[in-house]
Amino acid sequence: MEPLTSLKPLLAVLVSLGVVPILISSRSPNVREAWTFGAAGLKFLIVLSMLPAVLEGRELVCTLAQVLPGVAFRLRVDALGMLFALVASSLWITTSAYSIGYMRGLKEHGQTRYFCFFALALSATIGVAFSANLFTLYLFYEMLSFATYPLVTHHQDAKARHSGRKYLLYIVGGSIGLVLPAMVLAYHLSGTLEFSGQGFLPHSGSPILLGVLLFMFLFGFAKAAIMPVHAWLPAAMVAPTPVSALLHAVAVVKVGVFCILRVLTEVFGLDLLASLHLGTAVAYVAAFTIIAASLIALTQDELKRLLAFSTIGQLSYIVLGAALLSPKGLMGGMIHIAMHAFGKITLFFCAGAIFVATGKKNLSEMAGIGKRMPVTMAAFFIGALSIIGIPPGGGFLSKWYLVLGALEADQFPLLVVILVSSLLNAAYFMPIVYRAFFVGSRETTLPDTVSEAPIFCVAPLVVTALISLVLFFYPQPFLDLAELAVQTLIGGTGK
Binding site for other proteins (CB under 8 A): 64-69, 73, 106-110, 135, 138-139, 142-143, 146, 150, 153, 155-158, 160-161, 164-165, 168, 172-173, 176-177, 180-181, 184-185, 187-188
CB of 273 to other proteins, least distance (A): 23
How many helical (H) and strand (E) elements, i.e. helices and strands, does the chain have? 22, 3
**Residues 466/471/474/476 CA torsion (nearest 10 deg):** 140
CB of 139 to other proteins, least distance (A): 4
The C-alpha atoms of residue 387 and residue 271 are separated, in whole angstroms, by 31
The C-alpha atoms of residue 259 and residue 402 are separated, in whole angstroms, by 19
Backbone angles phi, psi at 368, to 5 degrees: 80, 10
Report the residue number, 74 or 399, with the smaller CB distance to other proteins.
74
Q: How far is CA 163 from the centre of its chain?
A: 20
Amino acid at 281: A
Report the residue number, 222 or 417, with the smaller CB distance to other proteins.
222
250 neighbors 344 (Cβ within 8 angstroms): yes
Report the residue number, 71 or 350, with the smaller CB distance to other proteins.
71
CB of 159 to other proteins, least distance (A): 8
Complete edge-to-edge strand list for the sheet that includes strand 71-77:
4-5, 60-68, 71-77
- CA angle, 70 as apex, 179 and 487 as ends, to 5°? 75
Report the residue number, 191 or 431, with the smaller CB distance to other proteins.
191
Report the residue number, 378 or 453, with the smaller CB distance to other proteins.
453
183 neighbors 134 (Cβ within 8 angstroms): yes
CB of 11 to other proteins, least distance (A): 18
Report the residue number, 243 or 312, with the smaller CB distance to other proteins.
243
CB of 20 to other proteins, least distance (A): 12
Report the residue number, 243 or 486, with the smaller CB distance to other proteins.
243
CB of 102 to other proteins, least distance (A): 12
Three-state SS for 452?
Answer: coil
Report the residue number, 210 or 486, with the smaller CB distance to other proteins.
210
- Choose among 45, 42, 2: nearest CA to 19: 42
Report the residue number, 185 or 375, with the smaller CB distance to other proteins.
185
Written as one string, the DSSP assignment of 332-396 is HHHHHHHHHHHHHHHHHHHHHHHHHHH---BGGG-TTHHHHSHHHHHHHHHHHHHHHT-TTSTHH
CB of 309 to other proteins, least distance (A): 24
Report the residue number, 152 or 296, with the smaller CB distance to other proteins.
152
CB atoms < 10 A from the CB of 454, how many? 15
C-alpha distances out from residue 466 to 223, 229, 478, Å: 28, 33, 16
- Choose among 335, 314, 322: nearest CA to 265: 322
- Choose among 298, 251, 242, 283: nearest CA to 406: 283
CB of 196 to other proteins, least distance (A): 21
Total number of residues shown for the chain? 495
CB of 103 to other proteins, least distance (A): 11
Amino acid at 243: V
**Which DSSP state fits 444?**
-
16 neighbors 122 (Cβ within 8 angstroms): yes
Report the residue number, 188 or 442, with the smaller CB distance to other proteins.
188
Report the residue number, 182 or 224, with the smaller CB distance to other proteins.
182
The C-alpha atoms of residue 358 and residue 446 are separated, in whole angstroms, by 8
- Choose among 264, 390, 247: nearest CA to 319: 264
376 neighbors 365 (Cβ within 8 angstroms): no
CB of 192 to other proteins, least distance (A): 13
CB of 3 to other proteins, least distance (A): 21
CB of 424 to other proteins, least distance (A): 34
The C-alpha atoms of residue 385 and residue 426 are separated, in whole angstroms, by 8
